Structure 1
């Protein structure tokens, strides 16, 4: 964690910690965790940095505003794992259900130190896991359901992967150092947190702009350098803010690169795991009274990223985006409006590890995607105990996916292969959500949402319409072009939740949700049936080939869940325990059926609707071991996750179900020093999807150590991951397809061996 100091020209350093109460035009009793609240708007208008999470927002709302002559006010940074806000009977069900989780400060610090992937911020969170062969682009999993089934939101943008292997998911477009708040909601999710998803929501946000006060000038920033021994990785990031009391301008930049990492003892190098990436973003903020306008311009370049469990690597990915946000409070309530535009140009081929990197080798594949969206949300108090939220959103995804011919190849030529030709996926959604606090201990939430998803694509073409090598694809292309391809899905979601604070130390929250998701463009429109063309489709890392199905129906998940929350009733929050059992029955779950077998033993799989069920238990807890002036604060934390999934048609396990896993950790904070030791354990993976030949993996336990020391304007972070260099395989990693070229056989994807990590942060 870095500590920011503001500099007032002529007066020297000034650092004021303050808290304030809401003074918006109409105070609201229930405040939003994700959106700009009345507290945050007023805080921003006098130069405050918004709090890192909804917990901090609610904690600050009850404090008194303090006057100071400093040019800027920095609100105290609170530990977002604190349960105080959750114990507040007036905490909004809509904004912070009990199944929501955010990483605490020590977890964030170790995650940023260990990985450049923003998805790593959610490690050790209840119900969360991830998978992927690229180190910048892990795909999120909530309660056993992955990727598109999770509503992943970055700065209010719902970003769709623009790649047949999903190498560029939403969380790959923001570096961890730029993330101010990170929240995951597994299972039952309020309709205001997004539609077109059945697993839950992941939401990450950059910090809102900072402002000076009293016509002063604020100049503040940070610089950070990081080194990781495994793979010889190194990177740098920084931020600079210049602001007065009305206008703020901030630049964020980062760079990270690594070679191939090494697995645990005896596993050797894991090929196709190198990467290089750059991120740049400029944020401009303008505020007046209780209104805030923020516009961010950004660009990301990833010239190279290897994917060990895919046949292809990413040879270039450039994202250019504009993202705007307005928040304001009025006599009738609060309004939040967002708009965004993003263009992604994406290229795949084979890097050196796979034998490519030549005009006559590999297989060039290109994507061009454009996404445009808006979102409106109004929060309207209907009285002291009732709140109504109304919202509207629209998301457009336009995609071209074409594969240029390979020089001198008889199979990949002489023409261009058109995989998705002028495809589009448009989603128009509206919702209404009513929250009522019937008594100080009983509150309810009822929400309705409708999403209209419209999809279509143009005619396609194989590499060649003649010849034996392209016969399967030519036949498939003619059939695809002859059919009507436009599809419209009308989806309807319902969420009903109740919270009952039975005693001062026990809260019960439960409910039901009907959530739906329409297929993505590749699930419907990937058409190639040849062994080579179909093997380029799929984000599963299993080596199989996939073909789309235009007749797919939307998934409909019926989920029931209960969260039991025991906690210390005192403000100290010395202990807490949450247990969340859940059950989901999914109609039209998009799984696969076998449509053929290839010469290498892999299968041609076609997407198909089946019924399926998932069920499990998430648990998390913390206990304060000591808290004294002499020895600081020591705390024990733990997380345990268990999930099972079954296809009701094939009766096999669902793909990518994480086995029983958990983390136990002890953290210590005394003076400027903070430390953490944690143990991650994962049970053997025995329940697998046999149709995809999902590998079984043995169980393992990893010991990690981290700590930081802060003095004046410098912070040193250091840690060791996998201290004992334990060899292990990633349960959701799929197959290490690249390693087959070096070791002569296919194995499960090995996890990373021991790594010594260090970073130094300077703030001013």
Structure 2
């Protein structure tokens, strides 16, 4: 008789913090809500994350109420930046999570080794290749189908010998417009594809040279905007060199160089018809683009079992350009025939060192310092009285002659650092930790030149870097039947960059703020087949300068789950409850959206199941929003000409959604 297969529940509903301030996830597993179409969709499954919805895809990730460059997102150790001045294409829009092997979240300013400005946290999307001991190959693939035309295909093929290896990963995903719980259609269809090829050389067990090249594209209909994204062209190239065991002390040298290019097109005529009564009655298009080049050199040094040091330098530089016009034959001229206009160049160079000191078997002291030098030059700045109107793309002013522009530069030196103490309590299966970190973040592209701010010379020169000092405390607890954790924070943000939305225009300014909140979770085995889980997340912020709440903070979020695991099959349920949000600041927001008013609470119930058909095949399925609840998230994008709504101010979430996923591993 064949032995039974013990199956860990396949559908993940409650990702857990695995070590102090760190969450590690496997993006190839299905998650509920419906498995992700992009990076932001994937991250929203982590407690503390929300997504600002714009349509069916390409939402903006929010962690602890913070968006944009406060959340440092890296792909294989490299930066990728969006092109749209109004954040139609955040960096996560170019990330297909299932093409990666591991996603790591490091909360708060508690690392200095992965670039500058990580006041909210750092997210690493990584592929992991190792030397093959003998010639072999593997294949991981999946098919996903769902309500309203959702259809995904993913393939990851790898093969290698002790000297060489290669990997080819690809995905394609599409969906039609969805309906909310009331049956109203939301302008939200999308389609995208990505392909990445990796070639590696491993002449010895301690040496690895890896070259990766990738390309992707797609389109997405947007309910939040008068325009849609009709091109998301990504081109990537990266070289990675690793040498280990150089000496008894110098244990690793890691060198990376990368190039990421995005070419984004938005228009109001490919996926819709221009509205003659709107602010853009004619067929119009804009094509922003960004090219990013960067690199990193890091060395790891070990002194026995007592001290580990990671030190190095990193840097990046990017150039943003745009052009605009209309379709072929337009009186404005075909946008692809127009010359590109450079509006900004941004560069950073930093040095870092992070040390882990093992005081004894139960105590650790981890600390790091970092210094960055940032330089920015703007090429299309206007005078204080010529900021123009709020528009969906650079160069898309509506009518009138273009204001005269000028160029200006600025730079700054930005120190950062942290110190954290960790203590494993003997015989209690618990780890306590406390850390304090400080990070200085230079204003990003959207805060200086974006579509929601006044790109004037005065604003450009006067907007100060954001300085965050934050205390993080928590506890980890794990036994054979229970895993629990609490992660809490409190911070002071001097010169917090706030966006004021006034009469269709926006302006960025500095205020002083206080923040606090946290996340907690528990998973408990109940008997031999049942497992319960719960997570909670809350973020609070106060604008001390103006004596009002910080805007665009999500309310208290609670998730309760229950799983029955029978070995070959499992079934589970997830109940998500959000409280009402009355702490708002109408007319103020971030680079994505502003507070429109208070929101009510909601509860959403979802179910899932999975079955191991064989050693190679696994089938999972689920129903999200089982009771077809009509609801919208508290955080939102700036709403303009919502498609399918009359007088609506927020985009409702999808109604009842069925999905099924077949996975194969060979």
TM-score (norm 1): 0.76
Residue from 183, 195, 213 that aligns with 2:104: 183
In structure 2, what is the equivalent of residue 515 of structure 1? 439
| Structure-1 residue corresponding to 2:652 | 750
Matching of residue 618 in structure 1 with residue 519 in structure 2: yes
| Pairs within 5 Å for 1:195-344 | 195-208=116-129, 211=132, 213=134, 216=135, 218-229=136-147, 231-264=148-181, 266-271=182-187, 273-287=188-202, 288-302=204-218, 304-330=219-245, 331=247, 332-344=250-262
Alignment of 1:672-691 (within 5 A): 672-691=568-587
More helix by share: 1
Pair 636,210 (structure 1): closer, same or farther in 2 beyond 3 Å: farther
CA contact (8 A) 1:360 1:408 kept: no
Partners of 1:647 and 1:352 in 2: CA distance: 42
User: What displacement does 1:499 show?
Assistant: 0.9
* 1:562 aligned onto 2:473: yes
User: For 2:149 and 2:444, how far apart are their aligned partners in 1?
Assistant: 37
How far did 1:223 drift?
Answer: 3.2
Match of 2:509 among 608, 614, 632: 608
Does residue 1:448 correspond to 2:369, yes or no? yes
Report the Cα distance in structure 2 between the residues aligned to 1:316 and 1:453, rounded to whole angstroms. 30
1-structure distance, mates of 2:306, 2:617: 47
User: Could you say which residue in structure 1 is the equivalent of 2:393?
Assistant: none
Are 1:366 and 2:287 matched, yes or no? yes
| Structure 1 match to 2:403 | 477
Q: Residues 121 and 182 of structure 1 are in contact (CA less than 8 Å); yes or no, is this contact kept in structure 2?
A: no
Change (3 A) 1:110 1:210: farther
Q: CA deviation at 1:513?
A: 0.6
Contact 1:143 1:187 in 2 (8 A): no
* Map of 1:729 onto structure 2: 632
Following TM superposition, by how much is the alpha carbon of 1:322 offset from its aligned partner in structure 2, in angstroms? 0.8
Q: Report the Cα distance in structure 2 between the residues aligned to 1:170 and 1:677, rounded to whole angstroms.
A: 31
Larger RCO of the pair (alpha carbons < 8 Å, separation 6+): 2
Instruction: Pick closer, same or farther for the CA change 1:334–1:422 going to 2, 3 Å.
Output: same
Residue 2 (structure 2) pairs with residue 101 (structure 1):
no
Q: 8 Å contact 1:698–1:729 — kept in the other structure? A: no
User: Are 2:489 and 1:575 aligned?
Assistant: no
Aligned counterparts, 1:531-680, within 5 A: 537-538=451-452, 547=455, 549-551=459-461, 552-568=463-479, 572=480, 574-593=481-500, 596-597=502-503, 603-627=504-528, 631=529, 634-680=530-576
- Residue 733 of structure 1 and its aligned partner are, at CA, apart by 2.8
Deviations for 1:27-50, whole angstroms, at most 9, x for unmatched residues? xxxxxxxxxxxxxxxxxxxxxxxx
Deviation, 1:525, is: 3.1
Higher share of residues assigned strand: 2
Moved more, 357-366 or 421-430: 357-366
Task: Verify: 1:430 aligned to 2:351, yes or no.
Answer: yes
How far apart are residue 645 of structure 1 and its match?
A: 1.3
| Corresponding residue number in structure 2 for 1:502 | 425
Shift of 1:104: 6.9
Of the structure 1 ranges 180-189 and 120-129, higher mean CA displacement relative to structure 2 is found in 120-129
Deviation at 1:313, TM superposition (A): 1.3
Name the count of aligned residue pairs.
630
Q: Secondary structure at the match of 2:368?
A: strand
Secondary structure of the equivalent of 1:668?
Answer: strand
- Residue 485 of structure 1: CA displacement? 1.1
More displaced stretch, 182-191 vs 353-362:
353-362
Distance of 2:399 and 2:542 partners within structure 1? 33
> Unmatched 5+ residue regions in structure 1?
1-76, 87-95, 527-536, 539-544, 598-602
Distance 1:426 1:414, change over 3 A: closer
Could you tell me how far apart the structure 2 residues matched to 1:103 and 1:111 are? Answer: 14
Distance 1:441 1:468 in 2: 59
> Unpaired segments of 5 or more residues in structure 2?
1-9, 391-395, 589-594
The answer as to whether partners of 1:378 and 1:390 remain within 8 angstroms in 2 is yes
